[in-house]
A and B are shown apart, each in its own frame.
Chain A
Amino acid sequence: MIIVNSETLNTLDSYSKNKYKYGFVTDIDSEKPRKGLNEKIIKYISSKKNEPSWLLEWRLSSFRKWKKMKEPDWANLNFPKIDYQDIYYYSAPKGFKDKPKDLSEVDPKLIETYNKLGIPLEEQKVLAGVAVDVVFDSVSVATTYKGELEKLGIIFCSIGEAIQKHPNLIKKYLGSVIPPGDHSFSALNSAVFTDGSFVYIPKNVKCPMELSTYFRINSENTGQFERTLIIADKGSYVSYLEGCTAPKRDDNQLHAANVELIALEDAEIKYSTVQNWYPGDEEGKGGIYNFVTKRGLCAGKNSKISWTQVETGSAITWKYPSCILKGDNSIGEFYSVAITNNYQQADTGTKMTHIGKNTKSKIISKGISLGKSQNTYRGEVTFLRKSDKARNYTQCDSLLVGNQCGAHTVPYIDSKNNTAVIEHEASTSKINEDQLYYCRQRGLSHEEAVSLIVNGFCKQVLQELPMEFAVEAQKLVSISLEGSVG
């Protein structure tokens, strides 16, 4: 059950009236080792986090892999070469040697930052029924509602804490869905990941509240490499939300997260993202480079993983939340809205790999391009030899607003089993003048009309979001369209 706290919604409301309201910087001292990527910094991170030696070894071997790898270059994206030596790999608000025990130990400036973002950390004010873990630069700041979850045996904490307290789960599952050597960004993340969230839902437990992580990049020239690991044991259920913002800066900042989900027999994971990293300014200056790997494994029979994303931020988005449908009868879903404006570029989509019998996947992608932006849907649906009677349904719709932007659809299908059923629908349309005229004749402004029509176009996806996120997402959609129409 979700209860929306009206105060939080009001805060969200007041912070979403203007274009990029999250662009402020918190003036807080941070502890940073030198820029640059090398074994020394990896050892530094590992020792800061007091990690066991096997994990340091894991990081170092990932780093060695990374050194031999090239960035994937098949995406429809154009950006200058990333200088990995010009990035800080660790940044923590000073005095964060240990995670604060309770909120009275948290720097008031941080609490204020999150209040500004509409994420009040004081427990009684947190969205009722939503437990929040907050990551500020590299460090996890607060995990609320911990006690209540613990009673059910649910583990919800930062990955750093999980490494200390639940080493067996970490050892078993970390890198089990996204091996470090998968591609250069996964190797990079495995080498230098700093924080992120960890969730374990025990057998037959339905998590009674939404679990949520809020990511914030504050420091300049800092990369954010969070790592999230969610395990849903047999017969369990969890819905997890992720949100993110960053200050406005002229430089591009790198974000390369890895998210791994594991659903065992009869388990279900619902993962929702509202991605609102700083997109850069109207001239295309600044903004986050968002190279994210998200992959879920439907390991057991009848398991289900569902990804929902609303991508409105970042200068560059490179992101393909995927499902490996290993268990028989397992289900993978991907619902996506990607809006690009000004000079933003998004290359996003999904991979559905059907391994088990009767596996089903569903892909609904809505791309909206405005300004001079480029928006690509890229999807790959694979049916392996034993995936008898597997099915996929794909629907990709693109909407163009203006005539200097681009929309592209790149669906790959690879079937090694001839009982597979594949349905694919795609459409590209321009925003319809008759619809705009109709809305305006009823008294809506041009901008309101565009926002309404685009929200309508995205509805199939937005309605998949948990309620209080849907409200935020709708506003985000409207904000992302501002200034670009007319």
Chain B
Amino acid sequence: MFLEIKDLSVKIENKNILKSLNLNINKGEVHAIMGPNGSGKSTLANVLAGKEDYEILNGKIIFKDNDLFDLNIEERAQEGMFLAFQYPVEIPGVNITPFLHSAINSKRKRMNQDEIDNLSFAKLLKSKASDLGINIDMLKRSVNTGFSGGEKKRYEILQMSILNPDLAILDETDSGLDIDALKIVTDGVNKLKTKDNSFLIITHYQKLLDYIKPDYVHVMVNGSIVKSGGSEIAAEIEKDGFQKFQ
């Protein structure tokens, strides 16, 4: 199994957030998770990425034959897990280009690949940026610093394209985007998608799924997945909201 989440229960500050959650994702699949605000979607994404604030009460996660809980944040990333954050943080003074260059090299190191040199990296970054319609000037700026909401999201997608993950988790990357920005984001995903990588796309709008065709849609309410199926579920939610799942 590529990603297997079994009976996962998670608590933060005395509050149970995820409750006996199960989810399986195979290589080459696109899964969407939809759910109302506060249902635990970002919590799930953060637990997968390894954020340390959570208490795991129960459950198991297997990722590419590893027990995920044996790996720390950076090891998971180097193994090919990528999280596009709902709220990307600003890091003043840290230039994007060397930041991403270090990131890609730490991944290559773990995979026993040679480091990529400055010049080749600069070329790669430029070509990916222009593929995504991202202004080259943006590459001179500090990570997320002074970016608009849309720029931050686009920049997450650029990083995703560069790092070429096996599993990309997109946490509400669509929210707050106008149609043009949404196109860039979804293009990024569609270009990256192969039969060897998988996507977990978190959203609470159906609109995103007009551009990215998910193989499965899951409805998450109150910390558990209450219904799974095909894209017809997204249409149901669009029509009637989450009410009937609660």
Which chain A residues have a beta carbon within 8 Å of chain B's beta carbons?
432, 434-435, 437-446, 448, 452-453, 455-460
Contact = CB atoms under 8 A, between A and B. Distances in A.
Given A442-B159, A443-B103, A444-B106, A456 B89 contact: no
Nearest to B108: A443
Contacts of A441: 49-50, 73-74, 77, 82-83, 85
16 contacts: A435-B89, A438-B89, A439-B91, A440-B50, A441-B73, A441-B82, A441-B85, A442-B159, A442-B163, A443-B104, A443-B110, A445-B74, A452-B99, A457-B92, A458-B93, A459-B93
B94 A453 contact: yes
A452 B77 contact: no
Contact of B93 (A438, A443, A448, A455): A455
B114 to A, nearest CB: 16
A445 B103 CA distance: 9
A444 B50 CA distance: 14
B142 interface: yes
A365 B110 CA distance: 38
B91 A437 contact: no
Contacts of A458: 93
Contact of B107 (A432, A443, A446, A453): A443
B110 to A, nearest CB: 8
Nearest to B51: A437
Contacts of B106: 443-445, 448
B163 A434 contact: no
Nearest to A445: B74
Contacts of B85: 438, 441
Contacts of B102: 444, 448, 452
Given A441-B73, A442-B100, A442-B103, 13 more contacts: A435-B89, A438-B85, A438-B91, A441-B85, A443-B77, A443-B107, A443-B163, A444-B74, A446-B74, A452-B102, A455-B93, A456-B92, A459-B94
Interface in B72-105: 72-74, 77-78, 82-83, 85, 88-89, 91-94, 99-100, 102-104
5 interchain residue pairs of minimum CB distance: A456-B93, A459-B93, A456-B94, A442-B103, A443-B77
Contacts of A452: 91, 94, 99, 102
A456 B99 CA distance: 11
Contacts of B92: 456-457, 459
A443 B74 contact: yes
Nearest to A449: B74
A432 to B, nearest CB: 7
Contacts of A434: 89
B88 A444 contact: no
Nearest to A438: B89
Contacts of B91: 435, 438-439, 452-453, 456
A458 B159 CA distance: 24
Contacts of A439: 91, 99, 103
Task: Give the most central of A440, A441, A443, A452: most B CB within 10 Å.
Answer: A443
B94 A455 contact: yes
Tell me the interface secondary structure of chain A in the complex: helix
A55 B107 CA distance: 63
Contacts of A443: 74, 77-78, 103-104, 106-107, 110, 163
Interface in B48-86: 49-51, 72-74, 77-78, 82-83, 85
Contacts of B82: 441
Contacts of B163: 442-443
Contacts of B88: 438
A460 B93 CA distance: 8
Given A455-B94, A456-B94, A456-B142, A440 B74 contact: yes
B47 to A, nearest CB: 13
Contacts of A457: 92-93
Contacts of B143: 438
Contacts of A448: 102, 106
A456 B102 CA distance: 14
A417 B135 CA distance: 49
Nearest to B110: A443
Contacts of B107: 443
Contacts of A453: 91, 94
Contacts of A437: 51, 73, 89
A459 B82 CA distance: 28
A255 to B, nearest CB: 31
Nearest to A434: B89
A460 B85 CA distance: 28
A313 B89 CA distance: 32
Interface in B118-176: 142-143, 159, 163
A119 to B, nearest CB: 26
A435 B94 CA distance: 11
A456 B144 CA distance: 13
A165 to B, nearest CB: 45
Interface in B155-202: 159, 163
A448 B104 CA distance: 13
Nearest to B85: A438
A440 B73 CA distance: 6
A434 B49 CA distance: 13
Nearest to A440: B73
A445 B109 CA distance: 12
A440 B77 contact: yes
A439 B106 CA distance: 11
B87 to A, nearest CB: 9
Nearest to B100: A442
Contact of A442 (B51, B77, B93, B110): B77
Contacts of A432: 89
A128 B82 CA distance: 44
A140 B91 CA distance: 44
Task: Give the most central of A438, A442, A446, A460: most B CB within 10 Å.
Answer: A442
Contacts of A460: 93
Nearest to B80: A443
Task: Give the most central of B77, B104, B107, B110: most A CB within 10 Å.
Answer: B77
A446 B100 CA distance: 15
A439 B89 CA distance: 10
A401 to B, nearest CB: 15
Nearest to B90: A435
A443 B159 CA distance: 12
A167 to B, nearest CB: 48
A92 B51 CA distance: 57
Nearest to A446: B74
Nearest to A454: B93
